[in-house]
Amino acid sequence: MTTAAPTQTTSKDYAQLTALLREASTIGSIGGLLGWDQETYMPSGGARARAEQASVLARIHHDRLTDPRVGELLAACESDTALNAGGSETAANLREIRRDYDQATKVPGDLVAELARAGSEAQDIWKQARAKSDFAMFAPALTTMLELSRRKAECLGIPEGGELYDALLDQYEPDTKAAEIEAVFNPLRERLSAFIADVTENGVPPRDDFMSRNIPVGQQHTFGQAVLEALGFDFTAGRLDVTTHPFCSGMAPGDTRLTTRYAEDNFADALTSTMHEGGHGLYEQGLPKSGPHAGTPLAGSVSLGIHESQSRLWENFVGRSAPFWKWALPLANKHFGSTLSDVSLDQMTAAMNTCTPSLIRVESDEPTYNLHVMIRFGLERALVRGDLSIKDLPGAWNEQYKNLLGVDVPDDRRGCLQDVHWSFGLIGYFPTYSLGNLYAAQLWETINEQIPDLDDQMARGEFAQLLSWLRTNIHQHGRRYTAGELCERATGKPLSADPLMRHLERRVKPAYGM
């Protein structure tokens, strides 16, 4: 009598396990398509049916993720020492599969379905409330989403030494606690506030009146597409559409959807939004979604902080730079006619690097952006704790904006209704935006050290070497390493706020003659 070698048996188990995960991933991608459609082309009359569709599909997806067979195969694979060799891709994949499976099995299918339905309904209500600038109209839906999110957090469990909010934050930035975020944000807030005060009190604001000149939406769209193509976004595997709140959905191999928004008197907002979502899209197109890891954690992004680093890097570190505009301004003039023909490179670069506290997060400049994020982090954390009630949210929001940014919020549309996240129950998401800025700045310093002629390349409209660096050092790894490990592997250092502050000093102060 003979027995098969353990590696043969467990390799078969691993193949069956990944096959089940690929099937679950495919179902999840259908949910992504439903969400993208709701945000872009779905008629408003379809909102109720879409909520039911989202709910049913979420339950099916959850059932596949929590199938006992997945647990059995996972346990069999974990017992195989060959599959768990230290540092191997398979070992990393099993580690992350275990994490995902344990989290999924803690949350009842009924709650998953209820969250999907309520989120779809709340998103449609948010659109209407935002258009009418009426928070009271949205408050009941937000109350429901907060209650459901708390229930989910309770199911996931409070990490040792943590708080309920941490269970939600962990979904977006794994193994990170609110107290750790706070420890980063507090000193960064002080440094940013001092920097902003220095610039606004001692600098001379650059001319930027030309930024509000009217440019037809069609011209802005073709310009944005041309920029994305130059950056390396593959339009045979993606597309660019319009929505209320821009987002990127990398829903399947060969299918990455970008969205942006346009205003005829604010072409820069459309461009930065397009480049931001393009950065997300380039990351999605660079992940190993095809091949042996398809549908498994190794084909996914490691954290939203890292994901955001890619969008912020292209939007800000590239898109607001003088080398980029040396190439992009002539291209803009080809698309916009004579609208910007009298604007010099120095004027455009300075106008893209202002420091002006404002109301809208997605339209804010680099120095003030993180303050917007910190406000949201504090408010949603207080909501989860129960320290802040839904009815008091607008007042707390407005007070924070006055205290931290010095601006008066005139209405709900430009206040606590400006972001879509809470309607979907994406509580714990906001801190990752600032983490992304920190990661991006640190990556950028290393990139410029390793590609010393990068400015010259960008000035010629050449971005292939930059994208190749990101593919090699960030994209291809998926979830093989933690976010912190990935940062140290790429830069040789743990995450620090110093590179971001050095970047702002070099970029913003010259625009103010400092």
What pLDDT was estimated at residue 1? 35
What is the average pLDDT across 18-30? 96
Average pLDDT value for the chain:
95
Same-domain status, 366 and 502: yes
Any idea of the CA torsion for 262, 267, 272, 273, to the nearest 10 degrees?
0
Helix axes 217-231, 267-286, angle to 10 degrees: 30
* Residue 95: Cβ within 10 Å count: 16
Strands (E), 216-284: 238-242, 248-252, 255-260
In the chain, the percentage of residues whose pLDDT exceeds 90 is 96
Is the CB of residue 505 less than 8 Å from the CB of residue 198?
A: no
Q: What is the pLDDT of residue 2?
A: 36
pLDDT tens per residue across span 407-464: 999 999 999 999 999 999 999 999 999 999 999 999 999 999 999 999 999 999 999 9
Annotated active-site residue 277? The verdict is yes
- How many Å separate Cα 384 from the centre of its chain? 21
Which pLDDT does position 4 carry in this prediction?
37
pLDDT tier at 10, thresholds 50, 70, 90: low
Residue 252 CA to residue 213 CA, distance in Å, equals 38
| pLDDT tens for each residue of 440-455 | 999 999 999 999 999 9
Same domain, 74 and 193: no
Pairing of strands 238-242, 248-252: unpaired
Residues 202 and 123 in one domain: no
* Token pair belonging to 46: 């379809």
Instruction: Evaluate whether residue 159 is within a structural domain.
Output: no
pLDDT band at 9 (very low <50, low <70, confident <90, very high): very low
Q: Are residues 77 and 203 in the same domain?
A: no
Place of tokens 């400006």: 418
- Say if residue 337 is in the same domain as residue 433: yes
**pLDDT tier at 7 (50, 70, 90 boundaries)?**
very low
Closest CA to 331 of 318, 317, 345: 345
Measured CA to CA, the distance from residue 439 to residue 494 in angstroms comes to: 10
Does any domain span residue 160? no
CA distance 472 to 462: 18
Residue with tokens 């992940």: 287
Whether 156 is in a domain gets the answer no
Whether residues 264 and 408 share a domain: the answer is yes
Return the closest-CA partner of residue 227 out of 324, 343, 323, 301: 324
CATH number at residue 255: 1.10.1370.30
The domain of 289 spans 178-512
Mean pLDDT in residue range 6-21 = 79
Question: Are 182 and 119 members of one domain?
Answer: no
The reply to whether 373 falls in a domain is yes
3-state secondary structure of 436: helix
Instruction: List pLDDT tens digits, range 467-505.
Output: 999 999 999 999 999 999 999 999 999 999 999 999 999
Report pLDDT for 352.
97
In a domain, 442, yes or no: yes
Which of the listed residues 132, 167, 189 is the one where a domain comes to its end? 132
pLDDT > 50? residue 217:
yes
Does any domain span residue 457? yes
- Same domain for 470 and 387: yes
> Is residue 264 predicted with pLDDT exceeding 50?
yes
pLDDT at residue 8 greater than cutoff 80 = no
Q: Would you state the pLDDT for residue 86?
A: 85
What is the rounded distance in angstroms from the CA atom of residue 126 to the CA atom of residue 302? 29
- Average confidence (pLDDT) over 214-230: 97
Residues 97 and 205 in one domain: no
Residue pair 271/224 in contact by the 8 Å Cβ criterion: yes
Position 245 confidence tier, pLDDT thresholds 50, 70, 90 = confident
Q: Which neighbouring-strand residues pair with 459?
A: none
**For residue 260, which phi and psi values (nearest 5 degrees)?**
-145, -175
Contact 367, 504 (CB under 8 A): yes
Determine what percent of the chain falls in helix, strand and coil, rounding each to the nearest 5: 70, 5, 30
Dihedrals phi, psi of 177, to nearest 5 degrees: -110, 155
- Asked if the structure places residue 278 within a domain, the reply is yes
Question: How many domains is the chain built from?
Answer: 2
Residue carrying the six token digits 């959807």: 257
Cα separation of 231 and 275, whole Å? Answer: 9
Per-residue pLDDT at 248 exceeds 60: yes
- What would the pLDDT profile of 121-172 be if each residue is shown by its tens digit? 999 999 999 999 999 999 999 999 999 999 999 999 999 999 999 999 999 9
Q: Can you give the pLDDT at residue 52?
A: 95
Rg, the chain, Cα only: 23
* 428 shares its domain with 310: yes
CA atoms within 13 A on the CB side of 235: 12
296 with 396, same domain? yes
Give the domain-ending residue among 95, 117, 132.
Answer: 132
Residues 235 and 357 in one domain: yes
Q: Indicate whether 262 pLDDT > 60.
A: yes
Q: How confident is the model at residue 42 (pLDDT cuts 50, 70, 90)?
A: very high
Choose the catalytic residue: 277, 284, 366, 380: 277
Cα 330 from Cα 268, distance rounded (Å): 15
Q: What's the length of the chain? A: 514
Measured in whole angstroms, how far is the alpha carbon of residue 263 from the centre of its chain?
22
Note whether residue 444 is domain-resident.
yes
